[in-house]
Each structure stands twice: as C-alpha cells, then as structure tokens.
Amino acid sequence: MDPIARLLLRLAMLLRHPPGRRQAIVMVIALLAALAIGAADRIFGLWPREKPAGHGPLLRWRDP
C-alpha cells in the first residue's frame, strides 16, 4: 500500500475512534517531525537514493 493511501486510511480510522487529548498532541508532533525530516531530506539530500537503471528489465540479462 502506498504511503498516501496508508495515511488516508489512518486518518479515516482516527475519525471513527478519536484518540484522547494527550495522544492527539503526540500524534500531531510526530506528524510535524515526519514532515520536517521529509522536507530536510528533499532540500539537503540526507539519505542516498537508488539510481534508476539505464535500460528496461528485459535487457538486463542480455548485456554483451
């Protein structure tokens, strides 16, 4: 399941069963921290990314 669908599913579950005040505050802080880490990764390139293959998967085993 992709991350956006997982987030929407979690939000729907929270709307059905709202958490207590303290848990809601912790969840908001965790969400803001995750957004800050994601933004820092995009801006500064903190984590290395895999380089895409230069050719399709069918040609991978046919290298000369």
**CA distance to 6, 49, 50, 53, 63, per residue, from 56 (Å):** 29, 19, 15, 7, 12
pTM of the model: 0.48
HSE of 59 in the Cβ direction (CA atoms, 13 Å)?
A: 5
Residue 57 confidence class, pLDDT cut points 50, 70, 90? low
Cβ atoms 7, 1 nearer than 8 A: no
pLDDT digits (tens, 9 = 90+) for 1-51: 666 677 778 877 877 777 788 888 888 888 888 888 888 888 888 777 776
d(CA 41, CA 47): 7
Q: What is the pLDDT of residue 7?
A: 75
